[in-house]
């Protein structure tokens, strides 16, 4: 049942069986069977279908709230035990997005080394999706990520470090490329490059929300790109 509950929490986070199945690397029928088995075990519906995906019922919301915290405690206990068995109790493992390393890591790391000289710092560059997986597996202690970290708020302690500007990448010859600023509404008829949900969970869904709220349109996606460099390549080649 533990596997089914983890899958259920992923479905709730993604709001879609298809996106959740992709993130979990399962087929959608296999994930649907997991959800049906969990509902049968608990004796009621946990999810209801909508035109845009699925959402939890009242019972599903209660389960997500309770089990998110319970699984976080379980994962922390398992992580602590693994570290103790490996003799790594004095190690602090930090995952970060490479673009954020200099701005958000240099100062704090200097302070940690000064205040706790015996602590062994292990730094690893990971994209947001990989950070979520690593946190849940107890493979890292801290993740510095983007808004994907919101998916972890029910399981881990999260804190907003900063708000950052958004930028739009356009082909050099694009009609809007020479402007100093571009409104979302200016991009109504354009295609947006989607990122692999394994690398940036929830990013496309957040972009949809921004476009609807600030541009009054639903974006069209092309992709998914297998990372930022691939995404910029797709933009540069107008594909």
169 assigned to some structural domain? no
**Of 155, 152, 112, which Cα lies nearest the Cα of 131?**
152
Q: Is residue 177 part of a domain?
A: no
Nearest to 143 by CA among 154, 155, 131, 153: 131
Q: What is the pLDDT of residues 67-93, one digit of tens each?
A: 888 888 888 788 778 877 776 667 788
Residues 54, 7 within the same domain? yes
Domain presence at residue 200: yes
6 and 65 part of one domain: yes
| Helical spans, DSSP H, in 116-238 | 128-136, 203-210, 228-236
Same domain, 58 and 94: no
58/196: higher pLDDT? 58
Average pLDDT over residues 137-160: 79
CATH number of the structural domain spanning residue 113: 3.40.190.10
Given a cut of 80, is residue 146 above it in pLDDT?
A: no
CA distance 135 to 119: 19
The structure tokens 């089914």 sit at 4
The arithmetic mean of pLDDT across residues 149-167, rounded, is 75
Question: For residue 145, is pLDDT > 70?
Answer: yes
pLDDT, tens digit, 9 for 90 and up, residues 169-217: 888 888 888 888 888 888 888 888 887 766 677 777 888 888 898 888 9
Residue 166: inside a domain, yes or no?
A: no
**Under a CB-based contact definition with an 8 Å cutoff, are residues 92 and 117 in contact?**
no
- Overall number of domains in the chain: 3
The most confident of 5-19, 115-129, 172-186, by mean pLDDT: 5-19
Which alpha helices (H) appear in the chain, and where do they start and end?
2-14, 17-24, 28-42, 58-85, 101-115, 128-136, 203-210, 228-236
Whole-number pLDDT of residue 173:
85
Most confident of 133-147, 199-213, 220-234: 133-147
The domain containing residue 222 runs over which residues?
184-236
More confident residue, 239 or 103: 103
Least confident of 7-16, 65-74, 108-117, 219-228: 219-228
What pLDDT is stored for residue 107 in this prediction? Answer: 81
Element (H, E) at 214: none
CB under 8 Å to 117, separation ≥6 — which residues?
A: none
Predicted confidence at residue 101, as pLDDT, reads: 64
> Has residue 27 got a pLDDT over 90?
yes
The residue that leads in pLDDT, 153 or 127, is 127
Q: How confident is the model at residue 148 (pLDDT cuts 50, 70, 90)?
A: low
Distance CA 188, CA 205 (A): 16
The DSSP letter of residue 173 is T
Q: Can you say how many angstroms the Cα of residue 224 is from the centroid of all Cα atoms in its chain?
A: 15
Query: Is 163 a residue whose pLDDT tops 80?
Result: no
Same domain, 140 and 99: yes
Whether residue 111 is predicted with pLDDT greater than 90 in this model: the reply is no
Cis amide linkage into residue 221, ω under 30° from 0: no
Task: Return the structure tokens found at 190.
Answer: 């354009």
Q: Establish if 108 belongs to a structural domain.
A: yes
Q: Shortest CA distance to 73 belongs to which of 176, 186, 159, 155? A: 155
Q: How far is CA 91 from the centre of its chain?
A: 25
Token reading at 121: 């710092």
193 and 148 within one domain: no
Which pLDDT does position 150 carry in this prediction? 67
In a domain, residue 11? The reply is: yes
Q: 118 and 62: one domain?
A: no
2-11, 118-127, 222-231: least confidently modelled range: 222-231
Average pLDDT over residues 226-233: 74
Using DSSP, state whether 47 is helix, strand or coil.
strand
Higher-pLDDT residue of 195 and 95 is 95
């Amino acid at each position: 049942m533990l596997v089914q509950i983890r899958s259920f929490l992923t479905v709730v986070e993604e709001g879609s069986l298809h996106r959740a199945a992709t993130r979990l690397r399962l087929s959608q029928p296999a994930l649907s069977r997991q959800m049906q088995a969990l509902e049968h075990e608990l004796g009621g519906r946990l999810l209801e279908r909508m035109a845009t995906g699925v959402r939890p019922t009242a019972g599903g919301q209660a389960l997500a709230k309770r089990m998110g915290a319970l699984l976080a405690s379980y994962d922390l206990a398992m992580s602590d035990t693994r570290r103790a068995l490996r003799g790594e109790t004095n190690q602090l493992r930090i995952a970060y997005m490479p673009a954020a390393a200099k701005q958000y890591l240099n100062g704090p790391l200097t302070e940690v080394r000064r205040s706790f000289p015996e602590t062994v710092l292990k730094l690893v560059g990971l994209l947001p999706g990989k950070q979520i997986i690593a946190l849940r597996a107890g493979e890292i202690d801290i993740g510095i990520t983007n808004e994907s970290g919101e998916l972890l708020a029910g399981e881990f302690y999260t804190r907003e470090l900063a708000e950052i500007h958004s930028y739009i990448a356009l082909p050099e010859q694009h009609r809007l490329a020479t402007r100093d600023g571009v409104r979302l509404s200016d991009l109504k008829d354009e295609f947006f490059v989607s990122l692999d949900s394994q690398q940036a969970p929830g990013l496309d869904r957040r972009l949809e929300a921004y476009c609807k709220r600030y541009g009054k349109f639903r974006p069209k996606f092309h992709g998914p790109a297998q990372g930022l460099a691939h995404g910029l390549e797709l933009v540069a080649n107008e594909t």
